[in-house]
Amino acid sequence: MKIKHQLAVFNLLTRLLIIVILWFSLPMLIQKVVYTHIDKSILEKKQKFFAHLDNVEISDFITRKDSTETYASFSTLHSEFLQLYRAQKPAPKYKDVFVNERRIIEEEENDYRVLYYNFTYAGNDYVLEIGNSLGEINDLTFTIRFFTTTLLFIIVLITFLADTFFIEYLLKPFYKIINRKIRHVNEPNGFDYTAIKTHSADFHELDSVLNQMMFRINDLFQKEKQFIGNVSHELLTPISLLKNRFENLLQNESINDEGIDKIVSSLRTLDLLKKVINNLLLVSKIDNNQFVNNEQISISGIVSEILEDFEDRIEEKQISIINEVGDFTFTGNQTLIRIMLHNLILNAIKYNVEKGTITLSTNLSPERFILSISDTGIGMTETQQSKIFERFTRINIEQDGQGLGLAIVDSIAKFHHIDIKVISKIDAGTTFTVLFPLDIK
Amino acid sequence: MNVLIVEDYRELAAELADYLSKNGYLCKAVTTCDDALEEIAVNDYDAMLLDLGLPDGSGFDVLKAVRKSKSKIAVIVITARGELDDKINGLELGADDYLTKPFALTELGARLFAVIRRIHGFTANELNIHGFKIQLQDYKVSFEDTPIALTKKEFDIFQYLSLNKNRVITRLQLTEHVWGDVLEINSDSNFIDVHVRNLRKKLAAFSKLDWFETVRNVGYRINI
């Protein structure tokens, strides 16, 4: 998940949480405000009532002395009422008690907020009830709740969109750094050093540090390339001299057989030295991406050519070849792919038994072109299998070679994003599976 | 045949000159770009062996100057830098061939022979070895007008030994010539012997081969 998406999700979730909290807490808040307001107005009415209270008035309200009479007065729409009657049972006096009640007043049922107030006047206990209808208030609460939520929803939507666009705008340089720079760190030669435009100091710093880092890597890379060139020159020129000197010496008639043997043996050693150096240079050049990889290579063509080159070895060991390689065109470096397949097929021959078989077959999966090279040779243990791609590892001490063949295969495969798998069983044979990617970036 | 050797490593230049003069070339060795250009301007050379890393510049500069002057000199670039771009660069600038150090002197001899023949056209296109005619261009061998069917490897071996007549050619040199400069360690083996045996069998049907010598433990030699 990209950081801008993570931020957007986080934004959305926090806002949703706010809406949910408000949806549940808003009615309580409104109710509290409304009740405070109503209670205040009821208490004002109560005060007005007591301000005018005297004997005359109370007898205006309650004429008879019995306790059943109730004075009641209603406003026209029954939104308010006031009742006064003699207290039937004792209750705490001079105390405001607010209750929400459902009442039927003149055949109309309504919710009311009612104040009960017990008091004593001229030796008599009275109860005063002042009510205020809640019907309108309930309607109002719902309306307020609805409007507030709608408004909130709109605000949330607008701020969410604004946030998203702003984040997108802010992170744009960041994604540019990723797409134009970080994705290309493996190709130091073609690195784009142009500064990315940004108003954020962090991204500016990231960009410039990245540039500095790549500059240093490129510098080291060039130095290493130069070093490889120098090493090859400094080592191979003296080898060249010795080789040519020995070759000239070989033609000297005055040297006896023993001398000739020593010269030939020295020439072989020089050849070994040359090849070890060339192999190491090859590995290091591959690892430093010093090869072009845009050549069109026919895999079946290369396999046929290699088999032709190995004709003599195959005949000598009387090995049967089953070549079922289907055609496939791979984009990469022809020289390297040839070396890779050469080394793999050479191993299949070298570690095979007399009259053995080598099977070369191919398969096409949706993402890979798969080439399998199976031999019926001596095989390897699992410990051996795990080490074969390391430099200077020899599976079999009796076999010659310097253990660089498969290290080179490994480097070439990595250079081309090719996967290589090994399955091997002692005395049964080894299968190398080469998985070519179908499209190479 | 005059050959100019441009190589700053004097000892190597001396070995090259030693080999080439024994093969009938007249050699002069110089160590710098300036000396090379001066030599070419003053004397008439048929071929030049050109090292790339010279103390006063790159061998490529010499190559450029030489090609500008419309000289017909054959140029073989010799360098330890076997990098692909160098190879392409060298051939684009007009080098006739390219050898990577270390190379076999016999390989140098064969290449030099080929480029001089190609450029100047005055060396024989045919070699005559004790009655066997080797047609270099057509890869054909015949004995008194009877064609002999040789495989490509057999022809390569016969031609290589003939071009380096009277010299012992080691198995290593033959292997490298026939199979190319492979990276495989200890690539010289008895496979070359199998091909030489077949070649001799085919040639022996026409004439006695006492001139086609096997040198014990070393290799082969064709004596003339």
- Tens of pLDDT along B139-149? 889 998 899 99
- Mean pLDDT, residues A56-80 taken together: 68
How much is the pLDDT for A63?
59
- Rg, Å, chain B Cα set: 19
How far from A317 is each of A28, A351, B175, CA to CA, in Å?
A: 94, 11, 19
- Mean pLDDT, residues B27-45 taken together: 92
The full set of domains in chain B, from first to last, is: 2-120 (3.40.50.2300), 126-222 (1.10.10.10)
How much is the pLDDT for A66?
56
Residue A23 exposure: Cα atoms within 13 Å on the Cβ side: 9
Contacts of B35 (CB under 8 A, 6+ apart): B6
Question: Looking at this protein, which amino acid is placed at residue B173?
Answer: Q
Contact between B17 and B27 under an 8 Å Cβ cutoff? The reply is yes
The reported pTM is 0.64
Inter-chain contact A275–B185, Cβ cutoff 8 Å? yes
Q: Which residue has the higher pLDDT, A400 or B70?
A: B70
Burial environment of residue A196 by CB neighbours within 10 A (0 to 12, 13 to 18, 19 or more): buried
- State yes or no: pLDDT of B17 exceeds 50: yes
Q: What is the mean pLDDT of chain B?
A: 85
Report the distance separating Cα A103 and Cα A110, nearest Å.
6
Handedness of CA A4, A8, A11, A17 (dihedral sign): negative
Write out the two tokens for A401: 């070679």
Give the residues across from A104 on adjacent strands: A109
pLDDT tens readout for residues A396-436: 555 556 678 888 899 899 889 899 999 999 888 999 999 99
* Percentage of chain A exceeding pLDDT 70: 93
Preceding peptide of A90 cis, ω within 30°: no
Tokens 């308010």: give the residue. A80
Put simply, whether A275 touches B (Cβ < 8 Å) is yes
- State yes or no: pLDDT of A177 exceeds 90: no
How much is the pLDDT for A441?
43
- State yes or no: pLDDT of A55 exceeds 80: no
| Angle subtended at Cα A188 by Cα A187 and Cα A191, rounded to the nearest 5 degrees | 90
Question: Looking at this protein, which amino acid is placed at residue A252?
Answer: N
Q: How far is CA A371 from the centre of its chain?
A: 33
Put simply, whether A253 touches B (Cβ < 8 Å) is no
How much is the pLDDT for A396?
59
pLDDT tens readout for residues A105-143: 777 788 888 888 888 877 778 888 888 888 777 777 788
Distance from CA of B70 to the nearest CA of A (A): 31
How much is the pLDDT for A246?
93
- Mean pLDDT, residues B48-75 taken together: 87
Contact between A377 and A428 under an 8 Å Cβ cutoff? The reply is no
How much is the pLDDT for B123?
57
> Which of A429, A417, A422 shows the shortest CA–CA distance to A406?
A422
Write out the two tokens for A118: 């017990």
- State yes or no: pLDDT of B14 exceeds 70: yes
pLDDT tens readout for residues A2-25: 888 888 888 888 888 988 888 788
Report the distance separating Cα A347 and Cα A60, nearest Å.
124
User: Helix, strand, or coil here: A169?
Assistant: helix
Contacts of A308 (CB under 8 A, 6+ apart): none
- State yes or no: pLDDT of B84 exceeds 70: no
Domain ranges in chain A?
3-140, 201-287, 295-437
- Dihedral of the CA atoms A269, A270, A276, A279 (nearest 10)? -140
Quote the ipTM score. 0.84
Preceding peptide of B102 cis, ω within 30°: yes
Kindly list the residues from chain A whose CB atom is less than 8 angstroms away from the CB atom of residue B15. 241, 244-245, 248
Write out the two tokens for A188: 């130091």
Mutate to test the interface with B, among A225, A234, A242, A243 (most CBs of B within 10 A): A243
- Dihedral of the CA atoms B48, B51, B55, B59 (nearest 10)? 70
Burial environment of residue A162 by CB neighbours within 10 A (0 to 12, 13 to 18, 19 or more): exposed
User: Helix, strand, or coil here: B152?
Assistant: helix
How far from A421 is each of A228, A434, B171, B182, CA to CA, in Å?
A: 30, 7, 36, 25
- Helix (H), strand (E) at residue A338: helix A334-350
What's the first-to-final CA gap in chain B, in angstroms?
21
- Helix (H), strand (E) at residue A113: strand A108-121
Confidence grade of residue A301 (pLDDT, cut at 50, 70, 90): very high
pLDDT tens readout for residues A28-46: 888 888 888 888 988 898 8
- Mean pLDDT, residues A198-211 taken together: 87
How much is the pLDDT for B212?
92
Query: Cβ of B106: how many Cβ atoms within 10 Å?
Result: 24
Question: Looking at this protein, which amino acid is placed at residue B144?
Answer: E
How much is the pLDDT for B122?
59
Kindly list the residues from chain A whose CB atom is less than 8 angstroms away from the CB atom of residue B11. 241, 245
Confidence grade of residue A440 (pLDDT, cut at 50, 70, 90): very low
- State yes or no: pLDDT of B127 exceeds 70: yes
How much is the pLDDT for B49?
94
- State yes or no: pLDDT of A60 exceeds 80: no
- State yes or no: pLDDT of B120 exceeds 90: no
- State yes or no: pLDDT of A151 exceeds 50: yes
How far from A369 is each of A179, A294, A419, B32, B219, CA to CA, in Å?
A: 29, 18, 11, 52, 44
Among B53, B170, B187, whose Cβ lies nearest the Cβ of A233? B53
How much is the pLDDT for B201?
92
Inter-chain contact A241–B191, Cβ cutoff 8 Å? no
Confidence grade of residue B18 (pLDDT, cut at 50, 70, 90): very high
Inter-chain contact B19–A248, Cβ cutoff 8 Å? yes
- Mean pLDDT, residues A176-187 taken together: 81
Lowest mean pLDDT among A312-321, A425-434, B32-41, B64-73: B64-73
Lowest mean pLDDT among A56-60, A118-122, A343-347, B215-219: A56-60
- Mean pLDDT, residues B6-33 taken together: 92
Write out the two tokens for A323: 């070549």
Distance from CA of B52 to the nearest CA of A (A): 10
Tokens 């090719």: give the residue. A418
Inter-chain contact B188–A268, Cβ cutoff 8 Å? yes
Tokens 């109309």: give the residue. A108
Tokens 């040789």: give the residue. B150
Confidence grade of residue B86 (pLDDT, cut at 50, 70, 90): low
Q: At what angle do helices B171-179 and A257-287 cross, to 10 degrees?
A: 30
Put simply, whether A261 touches B (Cβ < 8 Å) is yes
Contact between A403 and A391 under an 8 Å Cβ cutoff? The reply is yes
Lowest mean pLDDT among A136-140, A429-433, B53-57, B130-134: A136-140
- Mean pLDDT, residues A330-340 taken together: 90
CATH for A295-437 is: 3.30.565.10
Confidence grade of residue B59 (pLDDT, cut at 50, 70, 90): confident
Question: Looking at this protein, which amino acid is placed at residue A164?
Answer: T
Inter-chain contact B186–A239, Cβ cutoff 8 Å? no
Among B12, B188, B195, whose Cβ lies nearest the Cβ of A241? B12
Kindly list the residues from chain A whose CB atom is less than 8 angstroms away from the CB atom of residue B18. 248
Query: How many A×B Cβ pairs under 8 Å?
Result: 111
Q: Which contacts (CB < 8 Å, 24+ apart) does range A139-142 have?
A: A140/A34, A141/A27, A141/A30, A141/A31, A141/A34
User: Helix, strand, or coil here: B2?
Assistant: strand
Pairing of strands B74-79, B47-51: parallel
- Rg, Å, chain A Cα set: 48
Inter-chain contact B185–A404, Cβ cutoff 8 Å? yes
How much is the pLDDT for B184?
66
3-state helix, strand, coil in chain B (%, to 5): 40, 25, 35
- Dihedral of the CA atoms A299, A304, A308, A310 (nearest 10)? 60
- State yes or no: pLDDT of B93 exceeds 60: yes
Task: Count, in order, helices (H) and strands (E) of chain A.
Answer: 10, 12
Inter-chain contact B84–A292, Cβ cutoff 8 Å? yes
Q: What is the mean pLDDT of chain A?
A: 84
Lowest mean pLDDT among A218-227, A326-335, B158-167: A218-227
- State yes or no: pLDDT of B87 exceeds 60: no
